[in-house]
Amino acid sequence: MQPVRGSTYTVYVSLEIKESLGLILDDDDALPDSGFHFAGNCHEIVEGGTIEMRVDSPRLGLGILANSFSDYLSRAGVALKEKNHFFLKDCSFYSKDDVVPLEVVSYRSVLRFIGLLEESAYYLDEKAEALIFYKDGRFEVPVKYGHQDVSVFDNAALEKLHVLMSGKLHEEQKRSLLAETVIELTASLSPSERFSYLVKNIDELYSKAQVGYNLFSTDFTYEKAKEEVHTFKLETTSRLHKVISEIQTQLLGIPIATFIALSQIKRTNALDAQFAINTVIFFGAVVFCLLLGGLLVNQYLTLTTIEADVKRQRKAFEKRFETTPEAYVGVFDGICSRLVFQTGAIVSIAVLTVLVALISLVFYVVHTRPIFDALFS
């Protein structure tokens, strides 16, 4: 292509140029955008001949024609979004080709990385091409990177970071943690170096974000375990309290029954009115002891059921909160201790009831001589 004057050139027509110019000149939409101005008609374009035409800059909306990928990255507007149409001359790559160079694959991953950071940032200033964060004031991360940054980008680390940030569980907390990690890693750097550092050290960014999330989830699990254990403790304590409160009145009757049995039974040598009184008092004491014994057995079975529930619930907590045993071990140990104490108290009361019955029997037999004579004469 030889210049004639200004932007007018003499062009040697090869087969490729003939075909390309034919397509452009026949397309009324493409011709104004192409920058080509040819005064003749398509029949004058003959392979092996020459034509004279004016060549101006094409409309940029057509895309980018770059000598190399580094040249492409130097163009305006490509740091945040891939152009729909661009062509790299050094590797003959068009943006819509199926076979994509590794550097373009990494570039597209960097754009995904920017999108991931945008979700954690306060906002993305597209005009200034900067991610804006806020922590103790405005914190900017200008999106500036070059060919070298893209070439070393760790796609595997990006996938791990994407997995960490995906999902609805703790979504806001994870975004906040990522933003804090970005600020922590780049606060000591100049603004122009921050994004480049993140691109080169995305694995470190992921590792620190993962550690932060693990600490958060552990604290969350601990608080949740404490809340559930507290609820279970209140329910179980209420049930244990009810076991004792239901027999408190009957427990007060033990010394009363003993006092009646010992003070009202008097000595008699005949089948008289005192004999009848002694017998009625004795059988009253026996009936009381039998009723109390039945109630004690029922309360003991209730304690056994509560104990089984506690063991089952403890196993469930051990499976669900195995990383935070301190949240529930102390509470369950306390409940188990109270279970042991109340079981011991029920057994002791049962033994005392049996002793009351035996004492009443001995006192009745000794003071009611007709019964004593019938048994021992």
Place of tokens 């019964």: 371
Position 169 confidence tier, pLDDT thresholds 50, 70, 90: confident
Question: What does the mean pLDDT of the chain come to?
Answer: 82
Q: Average pLDDT, stretch 226-236? A: 82
Return the closest-CA partner of residue 350 out of 254, 258, 284, 282: 254
The mean pLDDT value for 298-319 works out to 87
**Residue 143 confidence (pLDDT) above 60:** yes
pLDDT of residue 257: 63
Dihedral through CA 306, CA 308, CA 311, CA 313, nearest 10? -70
DSSP 140: E
Q: pLDDT at position 33, please?
A: 60
State yes or no: pLDDT of 60 exceeds 60: no
Amino acid at 145: Y
Band of residue 136 on the pLDDT scale cut at 50, 70, 90 = confident
pLDDT at 51: 74
- Residues 26, 66: contact at Cβ < 8 Å? no
Measured distance CA(45)–CA(42) in Å, rounded: 5
Give pLDDT, residue 266.
Answer: 83
- Whether the per-residue pLDDT at 209 is higher than 70: the answer is yes
Phi, then psi, of 66 in degrees rounded to 5: -115, 145
The alpha-helical segments, DSSP class H, found in the chain are 15-26, 30-34, 69-73, 102-120, 147-151, 155-165, 171-186, 191-200, 202-245, 248-264, 273-320, 329-367, 369-376
Residues 144-167, mean pLDDT to the nearest whole number: 89
- 16/327: higher pLDDT: 16
pLDDT (tens digit per residue) in 328-338: 788 888 888 88
Q: Are 149 and 109 in contact (CB under 8 A)?
A: no
Instruction: Identify the pLDDT of residue 48.
Output: 75
pLDDT grade, residue 4 (50/70/90)?
A: low
Amino acid at 30: A
The amino acid at 176: S
- How many CB atoms sit inside 10 A of residue 240's CB? 19
Q: Is 189 strand, coil or helix?
A: coil
Output the pLDDT for position 218.
Answer: 64
- Dist CA 21 CA 17 (whole Å): 6
299 pLDDT band (50/70/90 cuts)?
confident
According to DSSP, the residues that pair with 52 across neighbouring strands are 10
Residue 64 has pLDDT above 70, yes or no: yes
Residue-wise pLDDT tens digits, 17-56:
777 777 667 766 556 666 667 777 777 777 777 777 777 6
Q: Which two tokens stand for residue 202?
A: 């995305």
How many Cβ atoms are within 10 Å of 98's Cβ, its own excluded? Answer: 4
Q: How far apart are CA 149 and CA 106, in angstroms?
A: 9
What integer pLDDT is reported at residue 6 of this predicted model?
Answer: 63
The neighbour count for residue 171, using CB atoms within 10 Å, is 12
Using a pLDDT cut of 70, give the percent of the chain over it. Answer: 84
Residue 274 has pLDDT above 80, yes or no: yes
Q: What is the mean pLDDT of residues 288-297?
A: 85
**What percentage of the chain exceeds 90 in pLDDT?**
19
Contact in structure between 72 and 87 (CB atoms under 8 Å): no
DSSP code at position 136: S
Answer yes or no: is pLDDT of 11 > 80. no
Nearest one of 81, 335, 125 to 229, comparing CA atoms: 335
| Start-to-end C-alpha separation, the chain | 147
